[in-house]
Each structure stands twice: as structure tokens, then as C-alpha cells.
Chains A and B, each alone.
With several copies, the nearest count.
Chain A
Amino acid sequence: MIKEVTDAQEAEARIGKLRLLEALLFASSDPLDEETLAGRIGPEVGLLLEELRAHYAPRGVTLVCTGGGWAFRTAVDLAPELRREEEVSRKLSRAAIETLAIIAYHQPVTRGEIESIRGVATSKGTLDLLMEHGWIRPGKRRETPGRPLTWITTDHFLDHFGLESLRDLPSVDELRAAGLLDSRPVLLGLGATADDSALDTGDET
């Protein structure tokens, strides 16, 4: 009788350890070696790892041991179906983000105007890149000497940034109020009258 109770408790403890082991392996960014795991789980970790491996073997995710560490990986045989898009996400250059932002806020805007706002020359590649991604497109020509091309943003731009319309972009003052535009040192900021309201109380910092 007593033995049975002990068995049930033991089984429960075992399941608890198995679950924790599963979670630790899942959440870790690097493979975990058996010694580290034993420190959290106990000496029986070797058996538990084998049990987990067997459980996951037929599934879409498998537990593998690589270079002395254990980790979950998607099943090898699914690789062709998972690797559909080879390109890894990249960070957009600062110049490109700025150019995109200026087009969004000042459209329709010519390349010359973008350059005068940024204060540096815009490489042709930047506009090409933004256009390739479907964020901007050429607008009407400006009716000024040389009839320069203007640039505007696309619907895909709104889509990508989760905006319903261009009107929903925060205005300059709203950017300032939200803390995204702060050009002056704190003390000098007191002189500004435009955002007086934001300065009403200093007790919130």
C-alpha cells in the first residue's frame, strides 16, 4: 500500500522534471550540456533526455545532441519544406530609414529636397532599394525648372507599418510630446513655448 503511494508520488515528480527539462531546452538559445541540466534536474537527467528524445523522434520537432549539448531542432526531413525563403532578414541602413521617413512626412518630395533636408547626398541605391520593396513610388513631376520627379509612399508602406492612412503618422509636435524628438538640452528646453504643456510638471520623472 505504502509502496503504491510512493510510486504515484515518484511518477508525479518524474513528470515534473520532464516538463521542466522540456521547457529549459526549448527556451535556451544554445545547446545545453548534460552537466548543466543535471544541476537543475538531478542525476537522472540522462534517462529523462532519452525519454524526451524518444517522444519527439517521430514528430516535427526533434531533440538532438550536438557537440556535447542538447537542443530542439525542426526535423531534418522537413528542411526542404521549411526553407522556402532563403533570405535572412536584414537591417535596413540608417540612411534608407531616414530617407523613407522623409518621403513619408514630406511627400511628394524630390530627391533634391530629400538631400537638402538630410544635408547629405542620397545615393541612387537608396531610392532603388525602397522602391524595390514597394514602399515608395514615383509621383508626379514637379512643375519647376528641370521638372524633377517626386517620390511618394505606397499602400504597401501603410500596410507594412500598420497605418490606416498617412494622416495617422504622428505630427512633429506629437513626436516631440511622445519623446521621439528631443533636440535641445533639458535646461534650454524650458524656453520653448510650443510644448509648454509638457513642462507643466516635472514630478513625473
Chain B
Amino acid sequence: MADLLAGREADTSAIAEGSASEQLLLVLDGFEGPLDMLLALGRDQKVDLTRISILELADQYLRFVAEARKVRLELAADYLVMAAWLAYLKSRLLLPEPEGEEPSGEDMAAALAFQLQRLEAMKGVAEKLFARPRLGIEIHPRGAPEDLDLRRKSVYEVTLFDLLRAYGQQRARKESGVLHIAPVRLYSMEEAVRRLSSLLGRMPDWATLASFLPGGEGGGGLLTRSALAAHFAATLELAKAGRVELRQEGAFAPLYVRGRAAGSQDGDISEEAQSND
């Protein structure tokens, strides 16, 4: 991964090539979420986690996510949340502290360092735990127990797990009997394309993608996120069809959309949506 990150400066087009993107996807699939990825990046600094440079780490992470988004647009929301948080942390560390109640940049950096240390510690002990000789693998109980039932007051062998599983299965049967199909409340790309197409006519000038999103759906939950993803994909689709133009100032900057008059031929404006430059 270090190689991958080092190489990015040289030639961005190379990264977009098959092997490099596949490698990046492989790397991404190996992580258990953004914190796990940060920890892996932190280890690359080859210093004790207590002396790690959070600023450098934040930069590494942001670069990594930017690259990842080029090859995998549907990068999990967690990674983007972490990126936004790190970008904020960076600004807090670099700019003078504002007045107010908010924790200082130093505190935020310390909190992140603590989380990384804690996760590292847990990974370490998990390894130690599973390196121990385990019952049934290296250590063995009596192979032919003579059942005396000394301890069990009940002759029936039933555990809490059995009980809970029985209840869960019974509930599941009941639920699947009553509601056959759970309502899928996700935005599809087709839906978003239709919606954008109808809205674009009424929006002659540049407008942020966010302003096209359906409002008032309540909560920043799955539905809102699916709407964002679907609309984003829809703009790319429409841009490819030559029906809209896209503009973005830089990585993570708001994405602007403008309808393109049918038949207009001033062809080369359609910028690459994910361009960082």
C-alpha cells in the first residue's frame, strides 16, 4: 500500500489502469472499516503509535480515499465520513484555534491517537488469545466421557443459545408469513435519472447536486444516502448522454450540475466528475 501511495504523485493515469485499480480494490477489501485502514496507514509510518504524526496520517488517508474513489465510486459511507472528519481535524490543527466550546485540534488528534492505540491493542491481544493452545485443537478433554450428570440438575440439555435461536426462528417464520416483502425504500438510478431530467429543465444555471436531492425525507439514514448515490450516478449517466454538464472545484468540493440544451454542440466541456485537479 505504501508503494501505491508513493506512486500516485508520478502518474495519475497509471493508477487508473487495470492492475493498479484492481490492487487498490484488493487493498480496500482487506480493511475492516476506516479505522482499520487508518491503523494500517499509521503502521506504515514505522513509529510507535504514541508518537505518530496525526497530520501526516490525515493526509495519507485523504489521498488514499481520493484514489479509491476514482476506481470505486460506491466507496462505503463510513470512509467518506472519516475523510470529512479528518479534513476538519486538519483544518483545526493548521489554523488558529477559534474561540468556543469545541474541543481543540490537539484534543481531537489525541482522541484519534487513543482510538488507534486501543484498536491496535485489541488486535494484538486477539492474536495472542488465538495463539494459545485451544481446547479441541491442541488441548483435549476426555475423549470418551462417561455421562454422570453430576452438575446438571435438569436432565435436558438446552442452552440459552438454543432458546434464543428457537425464538428468533419462530419470529422469523411469523414475520415472513405476514409481510412477504419488506418495502424497499431505496432510490434507484432510473428513478434519479427521471427526477433529474424533469428538474433540469427548470434549472437553467449551475446548481449543486445536493440541491436536486429530494428533501424532507427525514433523517440522514439509508434512504438519504441511497438518494445521493443514485443521483450522483444519474448525473454521470446523463453527462455521458450529453444531457448535462458537471463541474467540481476539487476533491470533496460540491458538485455542480447544469442542463445542456438539446442539440448544443460546444462539445468539450463535460469535465470528469471525479477529477481532483
- Listed in ascending order, the chain A residues whose CB lies under 8 Å from chain B are 23-24, 26-30, 32-33, 36, 40, 71-74, 76, 79-80, 82-92, 94-95, 97-98, 100-102, 104-105, 117-121, 128, 131-134, 137-138, 159-163, 169-172, 175-176, 178, 180-184, 186-193, 196, 199-204
Contact = CB atoms under 8 A, between A and B. Distances in A.
B141 A72 contact: yes
B1 to A, nearest CB: 16
Given A76-B133, A94-B32, A162-B133, A30 B78 contact: no
B85 A119 contact: no
A175 B121 contact: yes
B194 to A, nearest CB: 20
B44 to A, nearest CB: 18
B150 A40 contact: yes
B152 A97 contact: no
A182 to B, nearest CB: 6
Interface of B: 29, 31-36, 76-78, 81-82, 85, 108, 111-112, 114-115, 117-119, 121-126, 128-130, 132-177, 181-186, 221-223
Given A92-B162, A203-B33, 19 more contacts: A27-B141, A82-B146, A89-B147, A94-B32, A97-B162, A119-B34, A119-B119, A120-B35, A134-B159, A160-B154, A161-B132, A162-B133, A169-B125, A170-B125, A176-B168, A180-B165, A181-B172, A190-B186, A201-B77
18 contacts: A26-B140, A29-B145, A32-B150, A72-B144, A82-B148, A97-B158, A101-B122, A101-B167, A117-B170, A160-B134, A160-B135, A160-B136, A162-B135, A169-B164, A183-B171, A184-B182, A190-B85, A201-B78
Given A172-B171, A175-B167, A203-B76, A104 B144 contact: no
Contacts of B140: 23, 26-27, 73-74, 82, 84
Contacts of A171: 124-125, 128
A136 B166 CA distance: 17
A114 to B, nearest CB: 10
A203 B185 contact: no
